[in-house]
Every structure is written in C-alpha cells, then in structure tokens.
Amino acid sequence: MDKFVITGGTALQGEVTTSGSKNSALPALAAALLTEEPVVLHRVPRVRDIRTMERLLVDIGAKVDVENGSVRLHTERIVSPEAPYELVKTMRASSLVLGPLVARCGRARVSLPGGCAIGARPINLHIFGLEQLGARIHQAHGYIEAQAPDGLRGNTVNFDRITVTGTEDLMMAAVLAKGETILRNAAREPEVVDLADMLIRMGARIEGAGTSKIRVQGVERLAGVEHTIIPDRIEAGTFLVAGAITGGDLTVAACNPEHVSALVSKLQQAGVEVTQPDATTLRVRGRGHLRSVDITTEEYPGFATDLQAQYMALMTQAEGIALIVETIFENRYMHASELVRMGANIRIDGKQAIVAGPRQLTGAGVIASDLRASASLVLAALVAKGETVIDRVYHIDRGYEKIEAKLAATGARIRRVE
Ligand code: EPU
C-alpha cells in the first residue's frame, strides 16, 4: 500500500490548476446510460472512483474509451442492468446507475451499499423516489431490484432531507418518465446543476436545477452530447487551505470562485487574504497570524462537509477556540484523533468538535481513514515539524488527481513511497 512521506515547513508558492469535479463526473458518466448515442465528457479527473464507475459501466454494456482527460462512452445496448456488491462496497456512488437503468430499460439490480467510514449513508430516498415514479422495488440478498416494465410515470417526490446523489438519481430517472416530475427539497449543489445542464443538452426538459424545486417533463429519448465537467470545488478548497495553512502565496487556477465562497468567507474572517484576480482564479496569501472561526457544515451554498476535515487542520494553527459542527454525516471526525497524535488540541462531543490553537504540530505516523480525512492529514503534515508518514493513501487517490505532484510543484516536500 502506498504511503506519503511529507516534511513540513515550506510555504507554498506558485500556481495549481484545479481538475474536473469527481462528484460531477460520476453522475455524468452514469447519465451516458440514458442514450444509445455516444457521449463525450471532457475534464474528467483520472481518480480511482472514476475508474470504478467506468468499470461498472463496461459491465453494464457501455463501451468506454479514455484519452487525455476525456471519456467517450457508447451504450448501444444494456447487457446487464446490475451494480454488484464488489463495486458498490468500494464506491457508494455506484447507486447512481439505479435511476438511469430503470429509466432506460425498465429494470435494475443494485447492491445496497452498507455502512462506510463517515456514516450509515442509506439510499432509502433514492428508492422512495423511484417508487413514487411507479417502480416496483423488491429487496433481497443485499440487493435492491427495481422494475418498471411499462416505464416510469412522472410524479411529485418530496425528499424529507436533502440528498445530492438522490436528487441526481431521480432527475436521471425522471427525464425519460411519462409526464411531469417535481422534485421538492432537492439538493442545490453545483454538481446537480452541471448534470442538469448536460441532460438538457441531450434533449431533457428540466427547470429549476440549483433551486430546491426541480421540474422535469419526460421526453421519449435522449441524444448523445459532448460536455465539459465543472471544476472540482472541493479540490480547489483544499488548495486554498494549503496556501493558508503554510502561510504561502498560492494561486488556484481554473476554479469557480462562486462554488467555494462559503470557505473563502471563513478564510477571510480567519485573517487569510483571498483575492480573485480573474473569473476563474483565486489567490490565497497567509499573513502569519490566524484567528479561530467557527463553522457548521450545511448543504450548498453553506460550508461543505467535504471541506470540514481540511478546515479542522487549519484551525489547529489558529489562535483561540474554533467550534466545528458537522450536520451532514454522523461520523465524520476520524481525522481528529490522527491530528491529535500530531499535537493538535481537539475534543469531539457528538456532532461538535472543539479545536484550541495554535499548536505546533509535529510529524508522526498517521493513517488515512477516508478521502477528505486524508486531505486533512496532508495539510497538517505541510505545517508539522519534521516528517509525517501517511498510510493508506489509496483513500486520497479516490478523489484527488495527482495531489502529490501538484503540491510538490508549489514547493511542498512530499513523496509517494510504495
Ligand atoms: N441520506 C439519507 N437517505 C438517503 C440519502 C442520504 O438519509 O437516501 C442522508 C445521508 O446519510 C447523509 C445526508 O442524507 O446524512 C446527505 O447525504 P447525501 O445523499 O447528500 O450524500 P451523497 O449524495 O451520498 C454526496 C457526495 C459526498 C458529499 C455529500 C454531501 C457524491 C458522489 N458524493 O454524497 O462526497 O459528502 O454528497 O455533500 O456526490 C466526498 O467526495 O468525499 C464525498 C463523500
């Protein structure tokens, strides 16, 4: 298993380029199942979760060709409308094929995901939504079987809590359903909007993506499309924190500044200088002294849960007490105990974490437990005294494209060892 060896103490300087969004590319790949015509996606990050989704789509019947960050998909025929446990257990977003498969061929068999490191993560709302659209659902042997032999019928789906992939899954199901579907309490994340943009260009009729009410008029069929994935806001946010925590001067290029505005606001309140030289660039300059600022994770446009761990690493370097409240996932503080091993002062009490700083971190052997927790440990290692060895970096490879190369190019002393 690969490890990262990081020697802290260098202020990052220069420019990093943001990759395409993993969480936008995953539903976009699944959406290619909705048409028998070719779909070409640009700016798809070469990360492990994307490769897992590509493998799944090949098993289902898609022809998948990858070239220079672009992916060409062609699903003339669904061969096997199934997402097996072996793939779903390694990547929960596999459940994104449920909606497209039922919409395209009237049936799907998808493994239930089971628990994961950050929480229980059920898919009951995906299932409820499909039932509202007329699918018959049967659960047996750890699998969900959905049947709609005569096609799905539009209906109103009231989500009792906001779910990102649930909204995406149902939107993909509704585009080929008969009549009108209304999704209430829908997720407003930029990834939902990106997917809607792609589907609309395939011929879907969707209004309201980006608001909590999405209206879909079903159409008979969808055409192929060429689509460019939006920049990864979580990767961009991680680099902003890297610039801030090292007291560096880092330019984050090819990002969408609006998508990280909740983080930028918190960084500015903490005393970090963040400017926007142009429409797709942010520049972060650490000014030495950081103040503690509280955060509560929320659905978009609030502070992203996917940036909570990275922000916690930053707060270990800030003066005062920062209260962090995680409201989206019930167990997303696995990084805290590793940060404590590096010298941080953090107490966890249920949904709340209290970080008292600043503390000089020191390099240690630590273990990555999930994707964003690993990013948090990398950030902490960049300011720690001495050497940190991060084990199980396969977690970070799920969602960050060439992170060690990007950080090394801005002066970080980081290397991968096998
Ligand atoms: N939930 C339910 N029932 C459902 C679906 C969700 O109770 O049927 C609950 C979840 O347990 C959670 C909350 O609703 O407590 C929100 O979950 P959501 O469904 O929004 O999460 P997701 O769609 O599974 C996506 C991202 C996550 C990100 C969350 C929240 C993708 C592929 N994944 O997950 O990204 O944390 O939204 O923003 O888009 C990551 O990239 O590291 C990552 C975990």
Q: What angle do CA 164, 165, 171 make, to 5 degrees?
A: 95
Same domain, 413 and 281: yes
382 and 247 both lie in a single domain: yes
Cα–Cα distance, 68 to 141 (Å, whole number) = 40
pLDDT at 297: 98
Residue type, 96: L
Residues 56, 200 share a domain:
yes
- Assign 222 to helix, strand or coil: coil
The verdict on the CB of residue 161 being under 6 Å from ligand 1 is yes
Count the helix, strand and coil residues of the chain and give each as a percent rounded to the nearest 5.
Answer: 35, 30, 35
Q: What is the CATH number of the domain that holds 339?
A: 3.65.10.10
Q: Which pLDDT does position 15 carry in this prediction?
A: 98
Query: Do 311 and 338 share a domain, yes or no?
Result: yes
Whether 116 is a known active-site residue: answer yes
Last residue of a domain, one of 166, 194, 228: 228
Ligand 1 center–CA 327 separation, angstroms = 12
Same domain, 141 and 281: no
Q: Which residue numbers in the chain have pLDDT < 50?
A: none
337 and 281 within one domain: yes
Determine the distance separating the centroid of ligand 1 and the alpha carbon of 164, expressed in angstroms. Answer: 6
Residue 53 and residue 14 in one domain: no
Question: Is ligand 1 within 6 A of the CB of residue 119?
Answer: yes
Which structure tokens are listed for 20?
């395409």
Of 122, 33, 43, nearest to 80 (Cα)?
Answer: 33
Given 201, 228, 255, the domain boundary residue is 228
Query: Is there a single domain that holds both residue 62 and residue 146?
Result: yes
Counting other chains too, the contacts that 403-407 makes at CB distance below 8 Å and 24 or more residues apart are: 403/375, 403/378, 404/4, 406/16, 406/17, 406/239, 407/12, 407/16, 407/242, 407/378, 407/382
Mutation pick for ligand 1 pocket among 22, 328, 330 (CB with most ligand atoms within 8 Å)? 328
CA angle 256, 260, 54 (to 5 degrees): 65
In sequence order, the 6+-apart residues with CB closer than 8 A to the CB of 226 are: 39, 40, 41, 42
> Does residue 278 sit in the same domain as residue 373?
yes
Residue 115 has a pLDDT of 66
Domain boundary among 228, 245, 279: 228
164: Cβ below 6 Å to ligand 1? yes
Indicate the number of domains in the chain: 2
Contact 362, 375 (CB under 8 A): no
Q: What is the DSSP secondary structure assignment for residue 322, as one 8-state letter?
A: E
CA nearest ligand 1 atom 29, residue: 164
pTM, rounded to two decimals: 0.98
Question: Based on the domain organization, do 222 and 86 belong to the same domain?
Answer: yes
| Active-site position among 58, 116, 325, 356 | 116
Separation CA 167–CA 188 (nearest Å): 9
Is cis: bond before 149, omega within 30 of 0? no
Q: Is 215 in the pocket of ligand 1 (CB under 6 A)?
A: no
For the CA of 168, the nearest atom of ligand 1: 23
Full residue range of the structural domain in which residue 78 is found? 22-228
Distance 351 CA to ligand 1 centre (A): 16
CB-ligand 1 contact for 329 (6 Å cutoff): yes
Token pair in block for residue 334:
């696995």
Give the pLDDT score at 143.
94
- Indicate whether 139 and 242 sit together in one domain: no
- If you measure from the C-alpha of residue 386 to the centroid of ligand 1, how many angstroms do you get, rounded to a whole number? 36
Tell me, yes or no, whether 238 and 346 share the same domain.
Answer: yes
Residue with the smallest CA separation from ligand 1 atom 44 is: 306
